Amino acid sequence: MLFNKERIHEWTTDQLFASATLGTYQTCGICIPFFHNWRQTFTTVTCHPKAFEHILRTRFNNYPKGPTWKNTFHDHVRGSQGTVDFTKENSGSRLSKLKLIPTLYNWVNPTIKNGLLPILDKATKQSISVDLEDLKIRFGTDNIFGLALGKKLKTLNTQVTPEDELVALAIDTTIKSFFKRLFYPNFVLNFMRFFSIGSEQSLKKSLQVLNNYITESLEERNNRNDETFDDYDFLWTLMKKVKVNGPGHILSSSDIMISTIVDILLGDHNSVATSASWFFWLVMNNSHVGKKIVDEISTILKKNGGKDGDGSKITNSIESPCGEETQEWIEEPLSYEEINSFVYLHVTLLETLRLYPSFPRIVRYVTSDDILPGGTFLDDICVCGEDFLEFKPERCLSDDETKIERREDGYMIAAFNGGSRTCIGKYLSFLEMKSAASAILLRYKLCPVLGHQVVPKPFFTLSMKNGLKVNLKRRDLAAIL
């Protein structure tokens, strides 16, 4: 593992592929006397969907995140741990369904129109390449701050305010500092924490910046009237929960609310960007997939008669829209109804998440002895078929390719965790990815920069080590209609 630390994700995949059961293997680390519990050095590594379901749903109480996770993130999880039930039962449903439409029109679409597309238009006119992963990270950061706090950052703007730049840097530094903790022995990490040196000093300053920013947002909300709220951000959801349940509610402490918001900001900082970047890379390397997606977008636009979100007419000719009418199509991002109509684009994103999940490792700690389905060694060779390493979006399509077909093994894709631990931002993530992907692919042809190497980076998320450098060219819509 040490010799492969720069390609740890690929190395782990190789080990799983080479294992006797093609999906599960057991290993052990080095136990240092007085510093490690020898039982904690034994590790079971699996990518088998049945094992995922057993761990994440069937016996999830037996598989907590464990001491390593708590030791790494202890700075801000002390309060947020108390909000698990609220997050799962209340905010999950609110974020997953009720808030999708206002989120699209209040945060996502304005960021696409006023932030993302102007940068791509400028790059196209000047014939310069762009780092699509960097743009998507900034796009996701702006959106998650708007959704979480009702105060959207503007990191995609050409003139970023010093405050926005400081907060965005604090998010990035915090995540990197947490990641570095995984490589320090506990006694070294405790020494760095006590004297506040190295990455621990940077982490302390960054968390303070985030706490101050969230506290200011909390104070602003307390000073405004209830009637002024029509934007449905997560902070306001938490505050209303406290008001309804009274001062004794678990969320009454502002520290707990701040910790919960920090969790959301850190979790969504670059996870959507990571998935979207691998999606674009796969589409660029599989031109037939890109063509099918563009055809689906144009078909939906023609089927809707060129009507925008409020139902106003954009085009008069559904069958054969003229050049002027197709130009009007691309002036605004797609509506919620249009985004929700995608089938092939959605299964392409599912296939991307199967091959390149945002969080490639889900770490769990066993509290009591257990046996995985089928015993220690799982019986099934591969639930995805012999072509499981291939990029094949049709894997989740019905035979007539008109609807998404739910596989019997629902844990084939565990990018959003599962069971009661399913990510509360799952549907919002799909909304962001589909909105941005349709907006970009409808307007531009993408091709990778010659000689640019795309490889995973050893990190919490499956980010790209060198980014995703692409060249853009305006798409001729008349040629595809």
Tell me the per-residue pLDDT of 291-337, one tens digit each, with 9 for 90 and over: 999 999 999 988 875 444 444 443 333 344 555 566 666 778 888 88
Residue 31 has pLDDT above 70, yes or no: no
One-letter amino acid of 417: N
Give the C-alpha separation, 469 to 297, whole Å.
24
Task: Give me the pLDDT at residue 452, please.
Answer: 93
Give the C-alpha separation, 7 to 236, whole Å.
42
Residue 27, H or E segment? strand 24-28
Count of alpha carbons within 13 angstroms of residue 457, beta-carbon side: 17
Residue 62 has pLDDT above 80, yes or no: yes
The better pLDDT of the pair 40, 278 is held by 278
Q: Note the residue count of the chain.
A: 481
Task: Give me the pLDDT at residue 80, please.
Answer: 43
Residue 164 has pLDDT above 50, yes or no: yes
Give the C-alpha separation, 168 to 183, whole Å.
25
Residue 391 in tokens? 């990029």
- Counting residues of the chain whose pLDDT is more than 70, the rounded percentage is 74
* Mean residue pLDDT across the chain: 78
Lowest-pLDDT choice from 105-109, 136-140, 173-177: 105-109
pTM: 0.84
One-letter amino acid of 288: H
423 annotated to a ligand binding site: yes
Lowest-pLDDT choice from 91-105, 170-184, 194-208, 403-417: 91-105
One-letter amino acid of 467: G
Residue 39 has pLDDT above 50, yes or no: yes
Q: Sorting pLDDT into bands at 50, 70 and 90, what band is 90? A: very low
Q: At the fourth CATH level, which superfamily is domain 80-268?
A: Cytochrome P450 (1.10.630.10)
Residue 266 has pLDDT above 70, yes or no: yes
Task: Give me the pLDDT at residue 240, please.
Answer: 64
Q: What is the mean pLDDT of residues 11-30?
A: 75
From the centroid of its chain, how far is CA 298?
Answer: 26
Residue 13 has pLDDT above 70, yes or no: yes
Task: Give me the pLDDT at residue 1, please.
Answer: 63
Torsion over CA: 52, 56, 58, 61 (sign): positive
Q: What is the pLDDT of residues 384-424, one digit of tens each?
A: 556 777 898 988 888 887 888 766 556 777 777 777 777 77
Torsion over CA: 256, 257, 263, 269 (sign): negative
Task: Give me the pLDDT at residue 158, please.
Answer: 75
For the chain, the structural domain boundaries read 80-268
